[in-house]
Amino acid sequence: MQKAFRNILMVALFGIVIFGVFSWINGNGALPKPITYTKLMTELEKGNVEELTLQPAQEVYLVNGKLKGADKNETFTSVVLYNNEKDLQRITDIAEANKGKMDFTIKPAEKQNVFLGMLSTLIPLLLLAFFFIFFLSQSQGGGGGGRVMNFGKSKAKLYDDKKKKVRFTDVAGADEEKQELVEIVDFLKDNRKFKKMGARIPKGVLLVGPPGTGKTLLARAVAGEAGVPFFSISGSDFVEMFVGVGASRVRDLFENAKKNAPCIIFIDEIDAVGRQRGAGVGGGHDEREQTLNQLLVEMDGFGENEGIIMIAATNRPDILDPALLRPGRFDRQIQVGRPDVKGREAVLKVHARNKPLDETVDIKALSQRTPGFSGADLENLLNEAALVAARQGKTKIDMRDIDEATDRVIAGPAKKSRVISEKERNIVAWHEAGHTVIGKVLDEAEMVHKVTIVPRGQAGGYAMMLPKQDRYFMTKPELLDKIVGLLGGRVAEEITFGEVSTGAHNDFQRATGIARQMVTEYGMSDKLGPLQFGNTQGGEVFLGRDMHSEPNYSDQIAYEIDLEIQRIIKEAYERCRQILTEHREQLDLIARTLLVEETLVANQIESLFRHGTLPEVNYDDSHLYHPTVKSDDRVTVVNNDERVTVKEADEDDKIGSSYEDVKRELQDGEDVQDQSINEPEPKVDRLDKDNF
């Protein structure tokens, strides 16, 4: 903004200078008033002319003068042609006759100033040339590829070392991922030990994981630890409307990187440019494929890229071109997943450092309540809590604010002003109570942490279901129990009111999806056997690949798949009906309590279901009840001794492991492995992970 203002100011000053030069050339003062020849002769004959001057100028005579009674500076001018001798003679005769009454002067022709004449001719040309050069420099300047004439230049941003660096200590919940990147940092700091052993450091590292898990942050941490230049660019910044721009930008990117080697090139969302060739409607010779070909050549072609390490991030590795993933280009793939409970606790500590948390805030309990949250989700959760606290004029963030923020992140803001009829309110209460009862009865179902009938977003109410612990595999009984839990709301409506509503739309969608995955992906159908049907590729859709693929099963198998899905849903529906019928008393009690209280938390639900009473609850203490294991009709409680506050965490342990800590852990692991070489391997029953 300041540079643009400075450029505009320079143009304005230049224009003022040019205007001044023209004014100096053409003279100063007021210009004489032009009059016609007829008017001039009339005034002369009447004797109204006080002064008259006749001067030859090029091919005409300039007649200047002043009328009687006019102001001091008010003059007139007229022009008479050279070849009009009759008019000139007439003016001269009248002037000579009235010589005593007016001043008549004949001036010789002025000598022409050659320099001023040339200057008056050159100034417009110089002015045009200046503006042309100025706008051309503006279109090419400014760095990057954002200018009109600079579209072939790379848009990569070079991060300055003088700015705040990102260290490994700033990255929490990704200790294994940091260990994979330590070798790259060592190579960039000192590559002699690798060359001595004949080792080649990976040319490229591909960070794969869902959005918000910290892939970009890890790449910046590597650059910060190594202390080398860091070029960052998005995959969509290569291809634009002009043909050849993408390949040109790739070449320019690597040329700049070679000048700053050793360095790191980070391409975010590389799937935008690295998609499989020959896929899609655009044909096999579009601009994106040309850009990809140039990228492949630069990464592992005839040229040497000594000291340049590529780091790329994507959440769609299934659509990347195989040539891009082969050894020699992206040698190493690092899975950056969502953090587990310990990782979430570390991430929450990082984002809570600059927020005033109340003493009642339990970071450990909060990490247990947020399974499946990514690092970005956790940061957004604490930020929403800070906004809620600030909106209410508080000085600290308490658990009530965090609970409200959790509801806002999951289901949206509360619609307390929405007008709901009594009938719909009853339907929502028994619907959510049905989910709650199923969650309390089934051992393998998700546990109910909170249930509410307050409308949020597009939902009339919801039950917050939390797994007992972080899960990476699920058994067939667990999936069946999950389907039963999803059907609890619809069955509760049916057995209570004798009719059903549209409120279970999302429940049916999720239940049908689980049943279809059980049959087509997990091989959990007794009738069809352990087979996989359809090229699902993890459930991700890629039109360029899927539009040319054919199903790997017949129409008869497709019919049987539908029958199996229908059977699973029907059996789960009947099982759900049986459970709710047996626990009808608890169902009605929880539903009626919801109509009064609107929201119930974990220990209130437990007391209502087990004892039929609603306890007085301290809001903050109610969050200590995190149901992790169900045993003997009891709920495991997180004790006060296990509470972890941010202040204690800062004093007792580090939030993120540093570069030195990661190296030390790797060395300790190698020492332990060396000591165990001579020890006999214990006989254990190993489970093949493919069986899960």
Catalytic annotation, residues: 432
Residue 431, marked binder? yes
Residue 435, marked binder? yes
Residue 209, marked binder? yes
CB atoms < 10 A from the CB of 12, how many?
A: 10
Residue 213, marked binder? yes
Residue 214, marked binder? yes
Query: Apex CA 577: angle with CA 573 and CA 582, to 5°?
Result: 150
β-pairing verdict for 49-57 and 60-67: antiparallel
Residue 215, marked binder? yes
79 with 61: CB under 8 angstroms? yes
Residue 27, marked binder? no
Q: What is the distance between the alpha carbons of residues 87 and 83, in angstroms, rounded to a whole number?
A: 9
* Helix 584-597, helix 602-611: angle, nearest 10: 140
Number of helical H runs and strand E runs in the chain: 24, 16
Start-to-end C-alpha separation, the chain: 58
User: Which pair of tokens denotes residue 184?
Assistant: 């790259």
Residue 650, marked binder? no
β-pairing verdict for 630-631 and 634-635: antiparallel
What are the percentages of helix, strand and coil residues in the chain, rounded to 5? 50, 10, 35
User: Which pair of tokens denotes residue 291?
Assistant: 């850009």
Residue 210, marked binder? yes
Of 128, 133, 141, 119, nearest to 15 (Cα)?
128
The residues, any chain, with a CB within 8 Å of residue 633's CB and separated by 6 or more, are 610
**Tokens 């400014």 map to which residue?**
142
8-state DSSP, 689: G
Of 293, 298, 288, nearest to 251 (Cα)?
298
* Phi-psi group of 632: left, alpha or beta (phi > 0 → left; psi -120 to 50 → alpha; rest → beta): left
Residues comprising the binding site? 209-216, 431, 435, 507
Residues comprising the binding site for Zn(2+)? 431, 435, 507
Residues comprising the binding site for ATP? 209-216
